[in-house]
Amino acid sequence: MDRSNWISAFLMQWLLMSVGSSPLSVVVYTSCKVGLPAVLPCSVASHFPSDLTPHIQWQTISDSVFERMGAELFQGESYKDRADVPEEQLVRGNCSLFLQDVRFSDAGIYKSYLVVGESSIKNRIFIQSVQLAVIDHKAIQSVMTGEDLILDLYTDQAEQVIFQNSSENDWTVLWERGAVKKSHLKERGNKLTLRKVSARSAGTYKVLDSEGLALSTVKVTVTEPVLPKETETLQIQSALGKATMSMPPLSLNALFLIFILMIQIN
C-alpha cells in the first residue's frame, strides 16, 4: 500500500470513529416558525486534522440541499441564498445546516453525510437524520380606539392579508403585495400598520403566502381609552355642578311654609 492510500485509509478509519455508527432509524426532531431561521444540528468531531479539508453534504429524500468542501459550495435550487454550513464552524466539527427564511415546503427529513476519499473514489459516511417541522405564527393583540395596529408580516413570502370582523363570517382582502395601497395602511419592511383603528377593526387577521397558507393568525380586540383619574374626577364634578344649576328655584309658598315651621320649632 503506497503512502497516499495509507493516509486515505487512516483518515477513513478516523472519520468512522469520529462520526460513529448512528442507525438510520435515529432521527433528531426540531421545529421552526415560518419565515424565521432554523438550525439543523450536526456534529462529527471536536476538530478535523489540519491536512484534511472536510466535505459535507445535506440532502432530503428528493433534493440536494447543500454541499461544501472548503470554500467551494453548492446550494440546491430551492435553497438558493438560504442554506449554509459555515466553513469556520465545519473545520471545528460543527456541520449544522443553517436555513434562512424557512418555508412550509422546507418541512421534512434531512440527512447529512461526510464525503471522503480520492477524487476518483468517493465514499459517503452517514452522520445524522434531522426532521424539521415548520409551524405558523399565532398571536393575540389588544389596541385602543384611535391607535395604530401593527401586523408583523414576518417574511417576503407574505402575499396577502385578509380580515374577518368579529360580527361577520366573510373574509375581506385588506392588503396584497404589489397592489395599490389603501390610505389607512402603511407598509414598511415586513410590517403592516393600520392607522387609527375603530371598533370595527376588531376581529381576525391572517397573513397568507402565495399558496394561500396562513403564515400567521392574529386575533385583535379594540378597547376604549381609559381616562386618567384627574380627568375622570373633573368630569364627575362638572356633571354634579350642572345638575345643581339645573334644579328649579323654590316657590314663595314653599319658602312661607319653611318660615312657619321654623317659628313653631322655636
Same domain, 8 and 65: yes
Same domain, 124 and 143: no
Facing residues of 82 across strands?
A: none
Q: Do the beta carbons of residue 163 and residue 171 sit within 8 Å?
A: yes
Domain assignment of residue 239, yes or no: no
Model pLDDT for residues 166-178, shown as the tens digit of each residue: 888 999 999 999 8
Same domain, 15 and 85: yes
Same domain, 120 and 171: no
Of 2-16, 27-41, 119-133, 193-207, the least confident: 2-16
pLDDT of residue 23: 44
Q: Domain boundary at 207, 223, 239, which?
A: 223
Of 106-120, 138-152, 195-209, 227-241, the least confident: 227-241
Q: Is 19 exposed, middle or buried (0-12, 13-18, 19+ CB in 10 A)?
A: buried
Of residues 262 and 158, the one with the higher pLDDT is 158
What total of structural domains would you count in the chain?
Answer: 2
pLDDT of residue 260: 61
Same domain, 37 and 99: yes
Model pLDDT for residues 221-251, shown as the tens digit of each residue: 999 887 666 555 656 666 655 554 554 555 5
Q: What is the CATH number of the domain that holds 219?
A: 2.60.40.10
Same domain, 26 and 131: yes
Residue 73, φ and ψ in degrees, nearest 5: -145, 160
Domain assignment of residue 117, yes or no: yes
